Amino acid sequence: MLNTRPLVHVEAEEQEQQVLRPIDFLQNQFEVAPPLKGADEDLQDPEYETPAERAKSLTKKQLMLALASSVKNADRFWEQWQHQYLTSLREQHTRTVSSKRGSRITPKVGQIVLICDTIQPRHS
């Protein structure tokens, strides 16, 4: 099962735009829904088609449209990946690397201070 969570932070004013999700690479606007109760009732419905029957009923034109849509979605996904996701990773990395982990504040009597941290690199 592919992840349907957004890859980048979505601002409130950007909610009209489609959100970039890993699953969109394969299927545009794919909605993951839990299995419905009473699925056995569908088998009694004369108009119900199993997935295999539905696949057989697809026409060549529908398949070509689906292929074109998948190619378009892959291109859109790649553009958003390059311009949004990779940019946000770069910005986050820049913020993390540029921020020093130490402090120039001189400790006062009675304050608790961290003298050694194994994660903290030396000379920083």
Select from 95, 90, 89 the least CA-distant residue to 8. Answer: 89
Model confidence, pTM:
0.38
Long-range contacts of 111-118 (CB under 8 A, 24+ apart): none
What pLDDT digit, counting tens, does each position of 105-115 carry? 788 999 988 77
Residue pLDDT, tens place only, 90-109: 888 777 776 666 667 788 99
Q: How far is CA 57 from CA 54, 61, 68, in A?
A: 5, 11, 19
Domain ranges in the chain are: 12-95
